[in-house]
Amino acid sequence: MTMSQAQRGWLERLGAKVLGGFRYVGGMSLMLGDTLRWTVLGLVSPRVRLGRRAIAEQLVRVGVRSLGIVVLVQLFIGVILALQMTPPLRDPWRQEAMIPNIIGEAGFRMLGPILTAVVITGFAGASIAAEIGTMVVAEEIEAMEAIALNPVRFLVVPRFWATFLAMILLSVVADLCIALGGHITALLVLGPTVYEGYWTRMQRQLDMLDFTTGLIQAGVFGTLISLIACYEGLKVRGGAEGVGRATTMTVVYSIVAIIIAACVFTVVFYVYKL
């Protein structure tokens, strides 16, 4: 069977896309390997300093600056969940007392971490990509290598761990805010059937596993965001325009990666009944 010109063009483009995808994932995996290697070296070898201060600085930048937005967004998510679930639960089964159970389950397992990840992507991911990209354009990375400083160790390691930690800490905050948002809604709108015993019911519904699976996901989302942001930043070429593209792609790829990862996790947790 012979292929038409158009078919071949289409196939070639698909092939190139797939190859490009593999190269991207491969490059990121290498960077992850490097990051972990430098971290271990930093922990065991007195000659490699990790720069705890750099990590702390990044943590402030990634975490503290996004804290307000995370709180705000997650409170609203709590409000939305509570309001949206009430009608179908109330009529005709009068099950609206289950609202805290559902909010707890959905919030702690998924919505807390995933929406925090989206906020961090916009806040920290984009700014990390822009910052590192700007450094590439200004020849700073080359200068760094020329004085025998490894850019992965100096730039990626602190941002990686800061994003990782920030994601986990903010997810705890996020979980609580979603729950609180639901509670406030119950108090103001939904009435005593919902708000009386709200916290006890939520606690009874949740076990440690709900909490930890959420945090594991948060850690993975953080890893994805920082790796994509650093990778996009480091591969910037050609001026300010390249930096702009890197920030955009960071946000796009991070969100796609986060949602794919969330889906994979959900399937795995479902299959293994976690």
Partner 1 sequence: MPENAANSLRDGQPVIRVVNLVKRFEGRAVLDGINLEVHKGQTLVIMGGSGCGKSTLLRQMIASIWPDEGHVEMFGQNLGELDDGELDKIRKRFGILFQSGALFNSMTVGDNVALPLREHSSLDGNTIEVMVRMKLELVGLRHAVDLMPSEISGGMKKRAGLARAMALDPEILFYDEPSAGLDPVTSAEIDQLMMDLTQKLGVASVVVTHEMDSAFRIADRMVMLDGGKVLKAGARSEFEAIRDASATGETTHDLIRQFLRGDSDGPITRRRLSSNYEEDILNAAAGKYS
For residue 76, CA distances in Å to 72, 183, 186, 196, 218 come to 6, 11, 13, 21, 20
**Taking the complex as a whole, how short is the minimal distance between the CB of residue 142 and partner 1, in angstroms?**
5
Kindly indicate which of the ranges 131-139, 178-186, 219-227, 236-244 contains the residues binding partner 1, using the contact rule CB under 8 A: 131-139
Of 73, 135, 166, 178, which lies in the binding site for partner 1, with binding defined by CB under 8 A? 135
**Which tokens go with 206?**
């949740």
Site string for partner 1, 31-50 (x = CB under 8 A): ------------------x-
Of 144, 176, 249, 261, which lies in the binding site for partner 1, with binding defined by CB under 8 A? 144
129 binds partner 1 (CB under 8 A): no
Of 11, 25, 143, 240, which lies in the binding site for partner 1, with binding defined by CB under 8 A? 143
Contact yes or no for 74/113 (Cβ under 8 A): no
Number of residues this chain uses to bind partner 1 (CB under 8 A): 14
Going by C-alpha positions, the residue among 262, 255, 180, 164 that lies closest to residue 214 is: 262
**Taking the complex as a whole, how short is the minimal distance between the CB of residue 139 and partner 1, in angstroms?**
4
196 binds partner 1 (CB under 8 A): no
**Taking the complex as a whole, how short is the minimal distance between the CB of residue 135 and partner 1, in angstroms?**
7
Q: Coil, strand or helix: which one is 112?
A: helix
A 10 A CB-CB count for 74 gives: 27
140 binds partner 1 (CB under 8 A): yes
**Which tokens go with 220?**
């993975």
Of 149, 240, 264, 267, which lies in the binding site for partner 1, with binding defined by CB under 8 A? 149
d(CA 216, CA 47): 31
**Taking the complex as a whole, how short is the minimal distance between the CB of residue 25 and partner 1, in angstroms?**
23
146 binds partner 1 (CB under 8 A): yes
1 binds partner 1 (CB under 8 A): no
Contact yes or no for 133/232 (Cβ under 8 A): yes
d(CA 228, CA 96): 41
- If the CB atoms of residues 12 and 142 are measured against partner 1, the closer one turns out to be 142
Of 23, 40, 56, 139, which lies in the binding site for partner 1, with binding defined by CB under 8 A? 139
Say which residues have a Cβ less than 8 Å from residue 71's Cβ, sequence separation at least 6.
Answer: 173, 177
**Taking the complex as a whole, how short is the minimal distance between the CB of residue 239 and partner 1, in angstroms?**
12
Cα end-to-end span (Å), the chain: 49
Say which residues have a Cβ less than 8 Å from residue 173's Cβ, sequence separation at least 6.
Answer: 67, 70, 71, 74
| Binding residues vs partner 1 (CB under 8 A) | 49, 134-135, 138-140, 142-149
